[in-house]
Every structure is written in C-alpha cells, then in structure tokens.
Amino acid sequence: MSILEDARALAESGPVCDACLGRAFAERSFGLTNAERGKSLRVAAALDDDEPYEAVETEDCWVCEGACAEFDEWAERCAEAIEDVEVETYQVGTRAPPLVEENELLLREGAGLPEDAGELFKSEFNREVGKRVGRLTGTEVDFTRPDVQFLLDIEADTVEAQLNSAFVYGRYRKLARDIPQTEWPCRECDGSGYKGKEPCDYCGGSGYLYEDSVEGFVAPVVTDVMDGVDAKFHGAGREDVDALMLGTGRPFVVEIMEPRRRTIDVEQLEGDINAMADGEIEVEGLRLATYDMVERVKKLDASKEYRAAVEFDDDVTDEELQAALDELTGATIEQYTPHRVDHRRASITRTRHVYDATGDLEDARHATVEVHGEGGLYIKELVSGDEGRTNPSLAGILDTGAVVTALDVIAVEGEDEPFEDDEFFKD
C-alpha cells in the first residue's frame, strides 16, 4: 500500500487528530511535527480523491482522547514546578494512559500496519512538551543526566519534577587527629543516642563516636549554600582516624541532593568551610563537578605518600635503618587483612608495592620514616609486621618490634593521571 492508502485506512477508523495520524509515519521525512505530517497527508488524500478537506479537532480524537492538544499546558506546568529552582538542563518523561496505548495498537492493527509503525505516543509527548519547556525556561535538553527530570502522568494529571544531585569537588587537609573522614555512628545505639529510653553511655548520647568529622565540617555548609535537602561525602580512600592528611590534601566530592541552587561562588564556599572548621580541617580547589567525578574519585588508581613516627623495641643504628628501608624500596608486600580492620574487611591476602622508602633516626629507638606506596598499602602494618601478617616489614627486616606512634598522609595522587581533569568539571 502507498502512504496515502495507509493514511486513508487510519483515518477511516474514526476521528483521528493530525498528530495521531502523522505519528504512524514519524520516520518519514524530517523537520516536521507529527501534526504537520498528519495534516499534510489528510490534505494530500483529499486532493488525490478530489474530495472536500475535512479537519479533525484534536479534542475529538478517539486515539489520544484530546491529549495532543495539551502540549502547551503541560509545558507551562513543568515551568511552574521549577519556578524558584536553578537548572540549566532538563528531560521530560511521560507515563501514557493505558487506554491511549491500547488505542494506538488498535489504530495500527485496523489499518494493517505494524504495531511499532512510526513512534509511540509517549515519545511524541516527551518531545513536544520538552521543546516548549526549553523555550519557557531557557534551558537545554539533556538525555544523559539533566539537572531536572519531569515525569508527566497524564492519567493522574500530575507533574513530578525530580531534581538530580549537584557535585562539588575539592581536596581536604585534616590538621587534627582523631577526626574521621565521615560521620561515625555509635555501634552501641546505632546512631540513635539512646539505649532503650536512656542516653547511650558509649557515645554520651550524641549518637556518634566522634564529635567532629571532615564530612561534618564540609557537607552541611555546601548543602546550605546550594539549598539542598541532604548530602553524601565521597572520598578518594580515607586515612586512619588518628592520622593527619597534609600536603596537597585528599580528593573528595560532596553530592548535594535536590539542590535549588547550582550557580555558586566556590571561592566564597571554600572560605566559609574553612572558617567553620576553625583550623581542624582545610579545603581547597573547590569546583563544580559532573556526576562522573564521583566514580573517578572512588575508582581512579592512586598512590599515597606517608610520614610515620616509628618507635623500636631495641636500639637501631642508622646503617641498619637505611639498609632496611633500601630493602623495602621497590618491594612487593603481601598483607593478610590486618587485625585492626578484620571486623570490616574480607580476610584475604593483598599484594601491594612500595615505590620508595626513606627515613632518619632521631635516636636509637625513634625514627621518622616516609613511604610512597601503592593505594591500599597498610603503612602501620608495613612497619610493625602485624604479627607476621605483613611480609616483608620494617620490624621483620630489623628483627625488632616496631610501631607507628604518629602517622601523616602527605600526598594522594593518581597513579597514571591526575584526579583533576577538565572533562569532569562544569566550570
């Protein structure tokens, strides 16, 4: 059958609006709306048959039941839903009424067309409403991860505007010990602060094992500035609670849920966070980032540099220390899950590499050691040996007990490329 014969067959089923008629031929030609296709076919058929042209009012269409006349109304409702929200990109999704979807199948079946001919009603609705939303709000469509996703439920007559997260990247330095990276709920009361009706003795009723955290200093400030409802803190690994994080700091991303503001002064934000932290931590290099930066921070292979204060059980000479450090430099280390983390880590043997190890004696029982190693290398156990669970170790090579009394992380950098790549930033 020709396209005009197909159009006639569709039109004979009853009053079919131009959009529903043209939608069956959505793959034909370009630069036309389905309504323009439908009207053109109706006119062409009337000319070919030398019959009067008879328009069909969209409100009378038995297929969409008049829904294709409501594109402007739905777009205006979308714009109203984000009237006080800052967004740059959007996407529209439609939940079509089951009856309309069934009518579409009946329309094509009655005309002898494949059930997937053209495009679906909801695809057209998404596009036509979406074009109007863009014009009304001055935003651009984004089919990957837009700032806002609209869901139009035609049968329920509702518009849902889902604000996607915004992301702020930076690096933090932790300048005080006994501060965890993220909030640490009390394990005795599960973060409630209560055991039964009484305040929890273990955490003093706070619900947390530590009063402060890097997350606690950073996330609330960013949430407030971006007018979000909640936040998640994503770090490129984490240092021990009792370790400092110095040097260029550790990369992190703060994810802000449902932000109403996205254009912010990151330099001002940096100053606000540092003022709030009052010397406990510092942040720098804040930038607005993309969703993909979260995965990059979490999964990019990174090496770490550490400085450790070490205490020995027996006297050690400088020559012995230097020889031991030389032996560790370039070594492949096998570490069975350390005692101190075996309650939260799988019991396996991990293989990690030491790139460089240097150090100086302060006296016969004390030294400062610096280690550059592969990510995931347990430094305290590299020094102590962890009762033979780490091999080789500084203690094992020196044949004396050794323990880290203070640990500082002085660098966290990508193994093969830096964390900071313009591809992952929005500014």
E strand residue ranges, 50-165: 89-95, 140-141, 148-153, 158-163
Taking each helix axis as running N to C, give the angle between helix 3-11 and helix 98-110, from 0 to 180 degrees, rounded to the nearest 10: 130
Among 419, 424, 426, which Cα is nearest to 264's? 426
Among 235, 231, 232, which Cα is nearest to 251's? 235
Can you tell me the distance from the alpha carbon of 330 to that of 355, in angstroms, rounded to the nearest whole number?
5
Among 158, 5, 141, 154, which Cα is nearest to 81's? 158
Can you tell me the distance from the alpha carbon of 170 to that of 244, in angstroms, rounded to the nearest whole number?
17
Beta bridge mates, 66:
none
252-254-260 Cα angle (round to 5): 155
Among 343, 232, 239, which Cα is nearest to 294's? 232
Other CB atoms closer than 10 Å to residue 294's CB: what's the count? 20
124-126-132 Cα angle (round to 5): 100
Residue 208 annotated in ligand binding: no
DSSP symbol at 358? E
Residue 172 annotated in ligand binding: no
Q: How far is CA 154 from CA 21, 59, 118, 166, in A?
A: 20, 15, 21, 29
- For the question of residue 240 being annotated catalytic, the response is yes
Beta bridge mates, 360:
368
- Per the structure block, which two tokens stand in for 272? 């606000």
304-307-308 Cα angle (round to 5): 125
**CB distance 410 to 339 below 8 Å:** no
The CB-side HSE value for 273 (13 A sphere, CA atoms) comes to: 32
- Per the structure block, which two tokens stand in for 409? 């992380």
Catalytic residue chosen out of the listed positions 18, 240, 386, 408:
240
Among 309, 341, 329, 348, which Cα is nearest to 392's? 329
DSSP symbol at 165? P
Q: Provide the pairing of β-strand 166-174 with 194-195.
A: unpaired
Annotated binding-site residues for substrate read: 306, 378
Catalytic positions = 240
